[in-house]
Amino acid sequence: MAGPQRNLTEGPIGRTLMAFALPTLGSSILQSLNGSINAVWIGQFLGQRALAATTNANIIMFLLVAAVFGFGMAATILIGQAMGRRDIDAVRCTLGTAFGLFAIISVLTVILGWLVAPAILHLLATPAEVYPLALGYLRVIFVAMPAGFLTVLLTMALRGTGDSLTPLKFMAVGAVLDVALNPVLIRGFGPIPALGIEGSATATLIANTVSFAALLAYIYAKDLPIRLRGAELRYLVPDPALLRTIVVKGVPMGLQMLVVSVSAMAMIGLVNRHGTATTAAYGAANQLWTYVQMPAMAVGAAVSAMAAQNIGAGRWDRVDRITRAGLLMNLALTGGLLAVLTLLDRHVLWLFLGQDAAAIDIAARVNLIAGWSFILFGVSMVLTATVRANGAVVAPLVILAAALFPVRIGLATLLDPTWGSDAIWWSFPAGSMVSVLLTIGYYRAGTWRKLRVLPTAREEHLPADCEPTAKAMPIG
């Protein structure tokens, strides 16, 4: 196969998995650095009120991304399985339906977001002095979302075809442009007026648009499998059967992000009861955990793409080996990173907490107790990625909700009166252990291997022009 796509159904599993996971990890790091640097620009140039305004807007953005993330993941699974069968027509049909769905969602996001932004900010009890800044920033961000949504869909689709390097390249283009434009548009430069906080949002709008246009041009210039030409453009009209599958499989995956968000807000409420130093320490630990989670998430994405292609190709003999390779890779990457952070934790925490010795002591204890639970988190991520590659999405949602609410939040609340803040920190490994045990049980004994993401066209009465062909199709 020409181009940057990898055939994930052949060759050495460990080496292929590593080569696929590293660019995905690089994309995650770039995305986090982009957000962190932009927060520095806003804080330095516009002050705390502006930073608080972006915090309020980012909550809304996260919920919007969660809403569409699941649909993108469902499309990626379908694309991965079709790619494993070497059914390029099915790949393009799925991409067309998902692209049409995302385009509709994007238009609705701009229109509704612009109109209801004031009501959303009032619902969040945004402080009066922050409200006008948050409203101006949020409305521009809503305009920037369509290009962002469609770029995310294309990058996820590319990973489904076995290409994780192209998304990294265009993520870098968008991140560099966003970071470079932020100070220029916030403060003004030459003929460019100072736009304040709206300048930061405008930088994101420009970066998203340029990144999307450049990625789309590259896909067509390289004639990649997800491009649509001629009669294939009819695939942009969502096919009912494919759309139903994407929505049914996508909603539970989107809900997983919502469950995590609600759990995080509940945990912050418990932490805040223990004073400012504890809250600051927990915030600093969370900054480190953002990066600690990245290897497991990158490995999970790689395992999902590889497993989906092999399931589509009928290579079930490789699926368990892919999972084992992912588990070992997570242990090496996440375990190694945690070991380094444990040795250097006080030096790293100083970057966030300065000379506050009390907060640093608390944060170091938080990391010592809770940090190592991310190895267990990685195990759950890899196993979930495998079962999700065959369309099993409800069981992982139920397991996640059980681990976070009855176990993690429940233990922290129940033991807080006697254990103090330690109850919160110990609830992390407890929740992760329950998640791992339940996920292992489902992986070994669940019915996920018997599922089919999308039955054949004849069974579901798909239109002939969108029927998977089950044979090799030319890419060009």
Distance from first CA to last CA of the chain, Å, rounded? 11
Q: Is the dihedral of CA 457, 163, 100, 62 positive or negative?
A: positive
Contacts of residue 453, defined as CB under 8 A and 6 or more positions apart, other chains included, come to 77, 78, 81, 245, 249, 390, 391
Express each pLDDT in 329-384 by its tens digit: 999 999 999 999 888 888 888 877 778 888 889 999 999 999 999 999 999 999 99
Flag the least confident range among 113-127, 210-224, 394-408. Answer: 113-127
Read off φ and ψ for residue 402, nearest 5 degrees.
-65, -40
Rounded CA gap, 53 and 126, in Å?
A: 8
CA distances to 5, 60, 216, 474 from 223, in Å: 11, 36, 10, 11
Express each pLDDT in 34-62 by its tens digit: 887 888 888 778 886 787 777 667 777 77
Question: Token pair of 346, please?
Answer: 């006080």
Closest Cα partner for 271 from 206, 186, 205, 359?
A: 359
Torsion of CA 446, 448, 450, 453, to 10 degrees: 160
Band (261; pLDDT cuts 50, 70, 90): confident
Total count of residues recorded for the chain: 476
Rounded CA gap, 154 and 2, in Å?
A: 19
Classify 243 as helix, strand or coil: helix
Quote the percentage of the chain above a pLDDT of 70: 93
Rounded CA gap, 128 and 123, in Å?
A: 12
Express each pLDDT in 212-240 by its tens digit: 999 999 999 999 999 999 999 999 999 99
Please, are residues 307 and 389 in contact by the beta-carbon 8 Å criterion? Answer: yes
Specify the pLDDT at position 74: 93
Question: Token pair of 218, please?
Answer: 């590259």
Band (295; pLDDT cuts 50, 70, 90): very high
Residue type at 225?
A: P
Torsion of CA 313, 317, 320, 326, to 10 degrees: -60
Burial class from Cβ neighbours inside 10 Å (0-12, 13-18, 19+) for residue 459 reads exposed
Question: Token pair of 414, please?
Answer: 């129940």
Specify the pLDDT at position 470: 36
Rounded CA gap, 144 and 109, in Å?
A: 10
Band (404; pLDDT cuts 50, 70, 90): very high
Rounded CA gap, 29 and 47, in Å?
A: 26
Band (429; pLDDT cuts 50, 70, 90): very high
| Mean pLDDT score, 127-140 | 87
Classify 79 as helix, strand or coil: helix
Number of H helices, E strands in the chain: 15, 0
Please, are residues 134 and 126 in contact by the beta-carbon 8 Å criterion? Answer: yes
Band (436; pLDDT cuts 50, 70, 90): very high
Express each pLDDT in 163-202 by its tens digit: 999 999 999 999 999 999 999 999 998 889 999 989 999 9
Classify 192 as helix, strand or coil: strand
| Predicted confidence (pLDDT) at residue 63 exceeds the cutoff of 90 | no
Specify the pLDDT at position 457: 36
Specify the pLDDT at position 462: 43
Read off φ and ψ for residue 189, nearest 5 degrees.
-155, 120
Rounded CA gap, 453 and 81, in Å?
A: 9
Specify the pLDDT at position 215: 97
